[in-house]
Structure 1
Amino acid sequence: MKLLTRLMIVFIIFGIPWTGRPAEATDFKFIDTHNHLHGGRDGHYMAGAGLALKKMNQLGISKMIIMPPPGSPGHRGVVDINNLIPVIRSYPQRFALMGGGGDLNVMIMKAKLSRKVAPNLKKRFKKKALELIKKGVVGFGELTAEHFSFSKTHPYESVAPDHELFLLLADIAGERGLPIDFHMEAVAEDIPFPKSKFLNRSYHNPDRLKANLPGFERLISHNRNAKIIWAHAGWCNTGYRTATLCRRLLADHPNLYMSLKLSPEGKKENRILEAGKNTIKQEWLSLFQAFPDRFIIGTDQFYGPPGSKQIGPQKTEAMSHLISLLPKELKHHICVENVKHIFNL
């Protein structure tokens, strides 16, 4: 009864009609490519993994890719990848690991004010990236060029998408055949920072934002062998990340991929599901059909030890519902085959 009550609340928040039973996701096994573990106050990451496994078994997630969130210098929430490696070793068939959010991203944020990156920094950056590969990562992530602050304890992060260190990472990723998971709010032009109840919870955000799409395209085109995953399609806080923009970028850049995210936060007009209806918005469905090999699932759920504070809204049931709405010919591509291709699984 408690589970059904929680599911009903989640569906109401997302504007999904409640049918009286969970989404039909357990009949279909899928791979979820973007999630996070946190250890709570005592650093119990294995306990967070246990909670994730329970949800995976419930919803039919055959494998989950976890990664450190994009960290900033001095922020206490930076996740050391070494805390996640025991999870991968204990459950190699259920979890895979991306790396860079807790170290490479921190290095980029430190270097963002420099006009020219010193050769010794490039050397240290490349050394760290290669160390991550030796530790068994299947890609680099989560990296960010524009990440809003969503609370008083959550940092604002911003750097040019075509920063020298991002370009260097693209070369490393292209050479090694590994993808980069990239978080970036879309900003098509210089604008005042958007206002919303969600964003107003933090005082760390700036007054204005600079356009970043041209720099993002320079990053994508820098090395066509580098697979760039633009995370969180379907969740946007500026209004610019529309299905139309995604279509144009996918058409122009064959090495660009996108992971899908559902959240009750962000701009309603940029969401994938039709509010109050049991359907995918036509502009998104036609986009998936036009580029069936370029989308993957990336729920962006945080899992911590039992009793720890939940980070962000619950998204897993809504994502399972979205999967149940995908046409059969798309479902296997987006949920399984594309992931295997991008991550070499």
Structure 2
Amino acid sequence: MWARTLGCLLLSVTLSGMAQAREYRYSDAHLHYVDFFQESAGMDELLKAMDAARIDQSMISGVAVAKKWHEDEPKRPRYYAGDDAAAYWYSATDIYVAAALQQLPEQQRQRFHPFLTGFNPVDKNAATHIERMLELFPGLWQGIGEVFTRHDDLTALTSGDTPRANNEALGLIYQLAARHDMPVLIHSNITSKRERNPLYLEEIEQPLREHPDTRFIWAHAGTSMEIHRHQTQLDFLLPTLTRMLERYSNLYIDLSWSVLEPYLLDDKGVPRPEWVALVERFPERFMLGSDVVGRFASLGEQLHGFDRFLDALPEAVAHKVAKDNFLAVLPRSR
């Protein structure tokens, strides 16, 4: 009798825990339809992966550069860092995204929020090019980016001048984004691989000050896996983000994969209380991104990897971070 009672009690506790388990639905705030060779697994594979992972909505963009297969290389590289051949700015990437979306039924097309990325960010003609793309595909584009500026070894490999988030050409684009009520997703590393200080912080902070009507989504919060390989953690990242979120109401943070570890979770996979507190303090300023490039099998793994961190947040905040915050930064007309 005692054993039966204990068994029932344990079952009751188990069922209670299951009933309290959260199931999230997601918006992906950072997804590339093609890779660095402008190739894609295709829209069918993307939709299957989204459905399997409970991703209802997704940002979608191309990749702003194409990796060259140099004639001196006997094997085609698999990634931009696969060899020393250059990458170059590639405007047709936006056409590939537009064509893929236009082939979808309307119900499926409404799940995607395309961002323009096929322009050279050090060319002052880029803003005019973006205006032409907005006219060519009226009502399609909802944001700009991912804009590549400071981006690990890709910066050195890309032909032409080094882009900075605060250069004059991008200033024109930020003005355009404000006029069209479009957010800008920008990749701007906060530092280099070896400097243990926020070496490039001013490059992202100046646009935040000078363009208060433009909504900026900072990709990976200025971090990267390449920086982590050399420095493990940036001790100044949390206080810097805290100060910037306090000061700039137009700053939003994309928590895609290089922020998850070693920042949001410790080496045992436990959410870090100081990061939980930061997201709680600014519950509408953080969003999740997969940052997949052209292949979509890992979509679920990327976004569900945040579940332990989301579970540490108040439930209402967790659902905002998982889904609602990205949708809230899109043009109000949407």
TM-score (norm 1): 0.69
2:12 maps to none
CA distance in 2, matches of 1:125, 1:60: 36
Query: How far did 1:267 drift?
Result: 10
1:275 to 248, 267, 270: 267
CA contact (8 A) 1:141 1:181 kept: yes
RMSD (Å) for aligned C-alpha atoms: 3.6
Structure with higher Rg: it is 2
1:338 maps to 325
1:145 maps to 149
2:251 maps to 256
Relative to structure 1, the CA distance from residue 48 to residue 153 in structure 2 (aligned partners, 3 Å threshold; closer, same or farther) is farther
CA contact (8 A) 1:167 1:219 kept: yes
Relative to structure 1, the CA distance from residue 81 to residue 240 in structure 2 (aligned partners, 3 Å threshold; closer, same or farther) is farther
Query: How far did 1:321 drift?
Result: 4.8
2:279 maps to 288
2:212 maps to 224
Query: How far did 1:325 drift?
Result: 4.5
* Pairing of 1:52-67 with structure 2 (within 5 A): 52-67=46-61
1:49 maps to 43
Query: How far did 1:77 drift?
Result: 8.3
User: Letter of the aligned partner of 2:109 in structure 1?
Assistant: P
CA distance in 1, matches of 2:277, 2:204: 24
Work out whether 1:129 is the aligned partner of 2:130: yes
CA contact (8 A) 1:143 1:183 kept: yes
Q: Deviation per CA, 1:118-170: give whole Å up to 9, x if none.
A: xxxx3x32221212333221110011220012799888984332100111111
1:85 to 86, 98, 102: 98
1:186 maps to 190
| Count of residue correspondences | 279
* Unpaired stretches in structure 2, ≥5 consecutive residues: 1-20, 68-85
CA distance in 2, matches of 1:234, 1:274: 19
CA contact (8 A) 2:155 2:162 kept: no
CA contact (8 A) 1:179 1:343 kept: yes
Work out whether 1:243 is the aligned partner of 2:229: no
1:69 maps to 63
TM-score (norm 2): 0.71
Relative to structure 1, the CA distance from residue 282 to residue 216 in structure 2 (aligned partners, 3 Å threshold; closer, same or farther) is same
CA contact (8 A) 1:258 1:296 kept: yes
User: Letter of the aligned partner of 2:141 in structure 1?
Assistant: V
2:78 maps to none
Query: How far did 1:217 drift?
Result: 1.3
Query: How far did 1:180 drift?
Result: 0.5
Query: How far did 1:291 drift?
Result: 0.6
1:99 maps to 116
Structure 1 counterpart SS, 2:153: coil
Relative to structure 1, the CA distance from residue 227 to residue 40 in structure 2 (aligned partners, 3 Å threshold; closer, same or farther) is closer
Identity %: 19
